[in-house]
Chain A
């Protein structure tokens, strides 16, 4: 049957003769003839043919889908193309990291959407990692209450669909909180249906000096840590690895700030007629997405961390105890570094999930890239284009995250010497 498809390589004599030869060979009970690399009987060759065929089918399907879509769209008079990206968007965006004007292009609007997505994703990843690690470590606590709380947290949050959680937080933030005229006030911080309002420093040259001071502080900390390690290796004396760097950082930025004239002017939020005005603000949409995604993903990260720690052989912990390390030191210096190797790959998965789940933000009105694409899609009617842009954005961020985590993974992997 399969030989029907085989016409033989160029220059060969074709299959009938070949087949005859095989039959003859079998009849004569002589060893099989020399294997031709281009023969259908060569497994490697067949493999290549099948793979080429599969690739051709995939390429054909892709081409067919694209071609047919374009053809249908042209036939129905639906305009297509990415030319709209440079046209003026004409719609406002409720919140953005940097100022956006409705006269800017669709491209800038999309970039605002991407920045909003990344803002939630990055902050969410940091917070959920911190919370998830605490929860995961908490599962090994000697305190039954802490263990129980961690278990129930994980079970509660990872078993409720994330969309429901987002909606729940949004309802809590907009329904339960007071309206702006009765906002909860703590110093210069306001919490109301309008979100969280807080004072921000007014930009002045002094802040630049403080930033420079902070930068110098970071350099100082790095130098200090190097020195501390050398000291430790030379004398065996352990230097503080936490408090001294913190003091260095604070002192250097304070020094820079004082050098810059110590500007104290703050842009304080004040109660306006209908809302809290001025100052910095985090909208309830952003807060709901951030809280929802963080708490949800933290539950999964907790399990990842627990699994990682559980994978470290018991003897390691016992050895740490035998060396006289406290429970805390044992976790921090012995268990977690070894668990990290197991943790990183599934952790990457969770980061990707968080980033992708942020697309659900559209349900509660957060202007992420999906929301912007929806609006753009409706203003221009370019459905295929807008959806592909969204897919490209998520693909890029996900691959970027994977690459970064892959690099970190290879760095923390056991070095085989």
Chain B
């Protein structure tokens, strides 16, 4: 009996020593992805147009397409993505701990997040701003009329602080009712607990058109009270992976600029003489090699998801259920802010 106690203690000690010897560094993300044949992507728990699963469990949305493009570029198959639905609070911890490879979950880039969480902002995939949604029957016309009112908001977002800033700057004394889950915040608004619901304007459109029983009963107020550049984030300490994610997105944006689409990517591959197009599609210089990928990386990504413009139109654009205008998210030469670094 006593001998077994000693043995147990020895075993525990041995186990602890093994644990202690484990390296803190997880190794290169890209190698890991290639080894397991899967990109693990953190997405929203359910925000139509950005990241949501349908009844068959198939994920779609702008953020999801970014994951798919990354998988296509790195693994050659856009389906090789493991989606990890995360709420606002879990997302950074999941990325920090290495549970996910990339966080593509309508996340705002801010200084605090970039500089203190051990994370890197990559490239903005959607320029947004925070707005308010109110019931039409409230007859509210401006956010400035929300004096002393309750506003529903999801915790763990930049939204919470923006709301306070706006309330303070305009002397509104808005009372926030803070929910952990997106669904709970939306529900509280729809049951009438709060006079208004606030989040990024794109999120409002998604909630209004996908969750509200009658979308026309709700109106989004004209004020945008903040800048919300949304995009994927990666962990610090793996510059190669940071570069891969960054350049896949730049590639998608530049593909739109140079007219490479899901439909014509194959034909352009053989026919195009434009050096920029040839570089993107890997028929000219081998741009993939520098990233640790093969030369077809971008061609596969475009083939899988289409260029940035197509992704936008399909998921959130004017003809989609969300019906968001292109606005700031148009190409730089068409009055928008989408300005991709050259793939060269």
A64-B20, A76-B118, A174-B188 known; A365 vs B177 contact (CB < 8 Å): yes
Check: B170 CB closer than 8 A to any chain A CB: no
Chain A residues whose CB sits within 8 angstroms of the CB of B156 once the complex forms = 374-375, 377-378
With the chains together, A375 CA to B191 CA distance in Å?
24
With the chains together, A61 CA to B9 CA distance in Å?
13
A75-B25, A274-B138, A379-B112 known; A193 vs B12 contact (CB < 8 Å): no
CB distance from B38 to the nearest CB of A (A): 22
Among B117, B157, B181, B193: residue with most chain A CB under 10 A:
B193
Chain B residues whose CB sits within 8 angstroms of the CB of A367 once the complex forms = 178
- Does B177 contact A94, Cβ atoms closer than 8 Å? yes
**Chain A positions near chain B (C-beta within 8 angstroms):** 1-2, 5, 46, 50, 53-54, 57, 60-61, 64, 68, 71-73, 75-79, 90-95, 102, 171, 174-175, 179, 193-194, 272, 274-275, 277, 283-285, 362-365, 367, 371, 374-375, 377-381, 383
Partner of B24 from the list A68, A92, A174 (CB cut-off 8 Å) is A68
**Chain B positions near chain A (C-beta within 8 angstroms):** 2-3, 5-6, 9, 12-13, 16, 19-20, 24-25, 88-89, 92-93, 96, 112-113, 116-118, 138, 140, 148-150, 152, 155-157, 160-161, 163-165, 167-168, 174-181, 184-185, 188, 191-193, 195, 235-237
- Does B195 contact A274, Cβ atoms closer than 8 Å? yes
Chain A residues whose CB sits within 8 angstroms of the CB of B178 once the complex forms = 94, 365, 367, 371, 375
CB distance from B124 to the nearest CB of A (A): 20
CB distance from A184 to the nearest CB of B (A): 14
CB distance from B121 to the nearest CB of A (A): 13
CB distance from A416 to the nearest CB of B (A): 40
With the chains together, A230 CA to B176 CA distance in Å?
57
- Does B24 contact A91, Cβ atoms closer than 8 Å? no
CB distance from B120 to the nearest CB of A (A): 9
- Does A371 contact B155, Cβ atoms closer than 8 Å? yes
With the chains together, A382 CA to B308 CA distance in Å?
34
Closest B residue to A379 using CB positions: B161
Chain B residues whose CB sits within 8 angstroms of the CB of A174 once the complex forms = 188, 191-193
With the chains together, A78 CA to B93 CA distance in Å?
11
- Does B155 contact A285, Cβ atoms closer than 8 Å? no
- Does A76 contact B235, Cβ atoms closer than 8 Å? yes
With the chains together, A2 CA to B2 CA distance in Å?
8
Partner of A92 from the list B116, B117, B164 (CB cut-off 8 Å) is B164
Partner of B12 from the list A57, A171, A380, A381 (CB cut-off 8 Å) is A57
- Does A64 contact B192, Cβ atoms closer than 8 Å? no
Further pairs besides A54-B9, A92-B167: 5, Cβ < 8 Å: A50-B5, A91-B160, A91-B176, A275-B149, A285-B177
- Does B163 contact A92, Cβ atoms closer than 8 Å? yes
Chain B residues whose CB sits within 8 angstroms of the CB of A61 once the complex forms = 16
Chain A residues whose CB sits within 8 angstroms of the CB of B188 once the complex forms = 174, 365
Among B113, B116, B140: residue with most chain A CB under 10 A:
B116
Chain B residues whose CB sits within 8 angstroms of the CB of A54 once the complex forms = 9
Chain B residues whose CB sits within 8 angstroms of the CB of A285 once the complex forms = 177
